[in-house]
Structure 1
């Protein structure tokens, strides 16, 4: 019988895909709070855009580290859209706080 190449064994206990999404969301919350606290108000939006670019790269890296192709686009999309929404809500909070003071 000929050798058709090595077959890969299925993962018996694959990593939880949702953990990678939660990690990206947690980093997005920490990054947006850090930008809101440490950056002056006129530079806050450009730095939030830079932070979101880093979040997108982190999302890709986290899901590539997961090592499964099934649902890759869904996981990356969910983590980046969720991070965008979280960062937007936090930036709205900082914007409203700047209006009050």
Structure 2
């Protein structure tokens, strides 16, 4: 007789954590980078978010749904950074 396995934890917390990290990174880039270099630093920040997504999902330790969780983390981070980047671009167009 074998002992049943524990129910896996929900992976949504790790996905949202990467989205929050993407928002923080985009805002930091908006404040620190000069306006001419913001667009160049956003892909670097996104690359860091993708690495963070892999690290968070590896730490989760559950193989089932790994690619789906990493994809959701990466696509959500891209959407968050894209919206913040759009806001930064619009703000730089209309600022004097």
How far the C-alpha of 1:9 sits from its partner, in A, is 5.6
TM-score when scaled to structure 1? 0.87
- Superposition misfits of 4+ residues, deviation over 2 angstroms: none
Q: Does 1:96 align with 2:90?
A: yes
* Separation (CA, whole Å) in 1 of partners of 2:86 and 2:49: 19
Q: 2:19 aligns with which of 25, 31, 35?
A: 25
Alignment-derived partner of residue 40 in structure 2: 46
Where does the alignment leave 5 or more consecutive residues of structure 2 unmatched? none
Q: What CA RMSD, in Å, does the superposition of the two structures yield over aligned residues?
A: 1.5
Q: Summarize the alignment of residues 1-101 of structure 1 with structure 2, pairs less than 5 Å apart.
A: 10-12=5-7, 14-101=8-95
* Separation (CA, whole Å) in 1 of partners of 2:29 and 2:45: 8
Per-residue CA deviation, residues 14-36 of structure 1 (Å, 9 max, x unaligned), is 33200000100000000001101
TM-score when scaled to structure 2? 0.91
